[in-house]
């Protein structure tokens, strides 16, 4: 994930995609046969979205890298190198035909951490913010100018059960303060009504907790998904820009205050109960086609 002022880019590599209706309908067996490289670019000229699910013939992975079709990520010992070559789906109001988007990202981390957090008491789901902050260089022909530089972030999630088996939903946010401090929030809401609240600051090359804060809700979007963000009790979070608004998921830029510092954060909210709704699963192939044996 990287951003620079008016531009933002999010890349997610999935093995056994948690959002895949095909993986769900296959009984969640053989995760390596349900892989995807999601690319989402946002800018003043509009948005590009690509998420084609592929089969095991399109997957190659090892300890230092992962390739899915024509897209890949690898750590070269100094920086995370990402290359993407995907077909973006038509988006109403922007274009009528699919468009190929390609480019590269180099994320030079300020720190690489070994911190790992269980998100549920039984340890079925984990999150690791491996590169909490870094300098990102983006080269892509998707927007005028050919790319930009900004600050970026890399993390990893994994689990051995469907999200909806344990979670009602969660909110996540990450941003950099005016003084250059990186703050990360993770509020996981479990099905039994309990939760896992994480509020972290990157300092001296490592992550340290900050005082618990109050969750405040953001205005609902078109689909009515409830989204929120932890912030200081006297702060009023403001949605600066909505980036994604789907029946079960939201992403946007939010301005708020945390631990006494003003901060603009990339914020995401997931409603796992909506994700599990059969009607929602039937809608997903329109945003996520499956091309099991096609490399590009």
What is residue 79's predicted lDDT score, i.e. its pLDDT?
97
Coil, strand or helix: which one is 166? Answer: helix
CA 74, 251, 119, 168 torsion: positive or negative?
negative
User: What gap in Å lies between CA 136 and CA 156, rounded to an integer?
Assistant: 18
* Span 277-287, average pLDDT: 92
Q: What pLDDT shows up at residue 4?
A: 56
Q: Residue 294: its pLDDT value, please? A: 63
Neighbours of 93 (CB within 10 A): 7
Give the residue, 89 or 112, on which the prediction is more confident: 112
Tell me the per-residue pLDDT of 59-69, one tens digit each, with 9 for 90 and over.
999 988 999 99
User: Dihedral, CA atoms, 290, 294, 295, 296, nearest 10 degrees?
Assistant: -70
The domains found in the chain, sorted by start residue, are 2-286 (2.40.370.10)
Token pair, residue 109, equals 């981390």
Q: Which residues contact 274 (CB under 8 A, 6 or more apart)?
A: 225, 247, 248, 280
Query: What would the pLDDT profile of 130-176 be if each residue is shown by its tens digit?
Result: 999 999 999 998 777 788 889 999 999 999 999 999 999 999 999 99
Residue 244 CA, distance from chain mean position: 11
Give backbone dihedrals phi and psi of 178, rounded to 5 degrees, phi first.
-60, -35
Exposed / middle / buried, residue 272 (Cβ in 10 Å: 0-12, 13-18, 19+): buried
8 Å CB contact between 194 and 230? no
Half-sphere exposure for 275 (CA within 13 Å, toward CB): 21
Per-residue pLDDT at 267 exceeds 90:
yes
Q: Residue 110's beta-bridge partner residues?
A: none
Residues, the chain, total? 296
Q: What rounded mean pLDDT belongs to the chain?
A: 90
Mean pLDDT, rounded, for 83-93? 80
């Amino acid at each position: 994930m990287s951003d620079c002022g008016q531009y933002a880019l999010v890349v997610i590599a999935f093995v056994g995609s948690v959002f895949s209706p095909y993986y769900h309908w296959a009984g969640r067996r053989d995760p390596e046969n349900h892989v995807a490289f999601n690319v989402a670019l946002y800018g003043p000229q509009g948005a590009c979205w690509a998420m084609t699910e592929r089969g095991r013939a399109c997957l190659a992975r090892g300890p230092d890298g992962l390739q899915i079709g024509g897209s890949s990520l690898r750590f070269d010992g100094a920086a995370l190198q990402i290359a993407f070559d995907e077909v973006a789906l038509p988006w109403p109001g922007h274009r009528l035909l699919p468009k190929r988007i390609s480019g590269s990202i180099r994320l030079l981390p300020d720190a690489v951490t070994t911190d790992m957090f269980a998100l549920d008491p039984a340890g079925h789901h984990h999150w690791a913010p491996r590169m909490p902050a870094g300098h990102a260089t983006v080269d892509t022909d998707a927007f005028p100018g050919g790319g930009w530089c900004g600050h970026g972030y890399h993390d990893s999630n994994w689990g051995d059960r469907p999200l909806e088996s344990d979670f009602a939903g969660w909110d996540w946010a990450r941003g950099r303060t005016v003084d250059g401090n990186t703050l990360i929030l993770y509020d996981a809401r479990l099905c039994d009504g309990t939760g896992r609240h994480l509020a972290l600051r990157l300092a001296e090359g490592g992550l340290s907790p900050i005082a618990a804060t109050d969750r405040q809700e953001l205005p609902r979007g078109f689909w009515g998904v409830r989204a929120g963000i932890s912030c200081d009790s006297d702060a009023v979070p403001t949605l600066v820009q909505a980036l994604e608004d789907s029946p079960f998921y939201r992403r946007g830029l939010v301005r708020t205050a945390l631990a006494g510092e003003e901060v603009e954060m990339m914020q995401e909210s997931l409603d796992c109960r909506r994700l599990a709704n059969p009607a929602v699963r039937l809608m997903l192939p329109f945003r996520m086609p499956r091309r099991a044996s096609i490399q590009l």
